[in-house]
Every structure is written in C-alpha cells, then in structure tokens.
Amino acid sequence: MLFNKVSYRRGIIEGVIIYVLGRLGALITPAFFPDWTFVAIPLLFLVFQYILPPVWAARRMTSTKRERLSRRFWLLGPRIAAICLAFDIVISLCLGLPLTMFEVQKGPVLLRLATTDAASHLSWLGYGLYELRTAVFLFVFYTIAVLCTRLAGGGFLRFTMPAGGNRVTL
C-alpha cells in the first residue's frame, strides 16, 4: 500500500506522538466524561498508550520483500519503548501520574514528593516502582507487538487450505 511507506525514523516519531497523546489523555480524571464515555474514553487512552504505537510504527515502515525481521525491527520495540518511557517520566514529573477509574489528579510528581500533606504525598520508592512497572511493561509489550506485526504483515501467519485444487489462503 502507498499509505504504509514511511522511513524508520518517521515511524518511530509517529509511534511516540501517539503514545504522548494517550499519556496526556490519561491525566484527565475519568469522572469528567459523561455517561458511557466514563469507561470508553479512558480505555481509548490506554489503547493510544500501549497498543497503537508499536503496531502503527511497525505497520507503516517500508521494507523489502525479503526483510521480515532484520536487526532494525528487532530493536524497534525497545527503541520506541525507551523513548516513550523518557516522555512518561517527563510528563509524570511535570504534570502528574496517569489515573485509574476512580482517582482524582493530585498534581505533578515533583510537588507530591516535596509535600508534607499525607493525602497527596508520594515517596521516591512509590514513584520508582511505578516507573519500573511501566518500563517493564513497555519494553516487553512493545517488542512483542512489533515482532507480531512484522510477522503478520510479511505473510508468516497465513496458511493455505485445503491441499487440493481449490486452495484458499487465509
């Protein structure tokens, strides 16, 4: 397809932009959204953070017919994950942590680390464990998503049946 021919660098940039949009959306308190969007919009932000960036980047990049899983595609998932983790740290420190369904935004991590108020205080250990969990999830999931996307796009997951004269490729 003509739509899927972008460079390696542009694919990474597009994936990171999608992640940042999802991460910024996750800062909004879910109670802000009315009715059924109370559940749908935060789920959309999760898709923008964790599912769409590696699949989008791997799907849009151009490659030769023989190149399915070259070294650059093996490193694409960890590379995008590292860049997204850096943006996640900056957003957390300056704007706040992402919210779950019934939380309210308590402010930037830098202010929460320095405050003495027990309700909004955040310890260095708590913040470090949050970022460690995020890093592990990003690196593992992005690597798997890129590899599966590249294999599926290259025809690896296709099979032909039945073995007779009327073959159907799925």
Question: So what's the pLDDT on residue 87?
Answer: 97
Residue 165 domain flag = no
Q: At what angle do helices 124-153 and 52-60 cross, to 10 degrees?
A: 40
Question: So what's the pLDDT on residue 2?
Answer: 45
Residue 98 domain flag = yes
Which range marks the domain in which residue 60 is found?
8-153
Q: How many domains does the chain have?
A: 1
Q: Which residue has the higher pLDDT, 60 or 158?
A: 60
The 3-state DSSP class for residue 143 equals: helix
Residue 56's Cβ-count burial label (10 Å; 0-12, 13-18, 19+) is: buried
C-alpha triplet 93, 131, 18: angle, nearest 5°: 75
Residue 144 domain flag = yes
Residue 35 domain flag = yes
Q: Which residue has the higher pLDDT, 73 or 22?
A: 22
pLDDT class of 106 with cuts at 50, 70, 90: confident
Q: What is the pLDDT of residues 112-129, one digit of tens each?
A: 888 888 777 888 999 999
Residue 160 domain flag = no
Global pTM value:
0.83
Q: What is the pLDDT of residues 27-75, one digit of tens each?
A: 988 888 888 888 889 899 999 999 999 999 988 886 655 555 677 778 8
Question: So what's the pLDDT on residue 135?
Answer: 96
